[in-house]
Amino acid sequence: MSAVACCAPLGAAVLSDDEAAATAGLFRALADPARVRIVNVLATSDGPVCVCNLTEPLGLTQPTVSHHMKKLLDAGLVEREQRGKWAYFSLTGEAFTTLARVADLKGAS
């Protein structure tokens, strides 16, 4: 997802087909209760979270968590860091600004 295409607010004065598709893709990445919970855990954590600490609170198997993480990574919402055998995840800086912008119906861009 390109930084330009992904950031068009819902209220943008002009919205191209590519921008609409990118915006829909971002919402699609969050259109799942498990991914909403994962993003919530990351948003409320002080630092990167080990994938090994996500399975139990979410009640999900590790392959399922990995599947959801891939969607969030592809959308540019999270980033991954390898520490020994474990992957650690955190929200990207862009996640904060992009989400707030895209959800802006007044298009103050």
Q: What is the contact surface with a second copy in residues (CB under 8 A)?
A: 10-13, 15, 17, 20-21, 23-25, 27-28, 30-37, 39-40, 43-44, 91, 95-96, 99-100, 102-107
Beta carbon nearer to a second copy, 86 or 109 = 109
Beta carbon nearer to a second copy, 38 or 87 = 38
In angstroms, give the least distance from the CB of 78 to a second copy.
Answer: 11
Which phi and psi (to 5°) does residue 71 adopt? -65, -40
**Cα 98 versus chain centre, distance:** 10
Query: What residues does 89 pair with on adjacent strands?
Result: 49, 80
In angstroms, give the least distance from the CB of 103 to a second copy.
Answer: 4
Beta carbon nearer to a second copy, 43 or 86 = 43
**Cα 4 versus chain centre, distance:** 16
> Would you say 19 and 3 are in contact if contact means Cβ atoms under 8 Å apart?
no
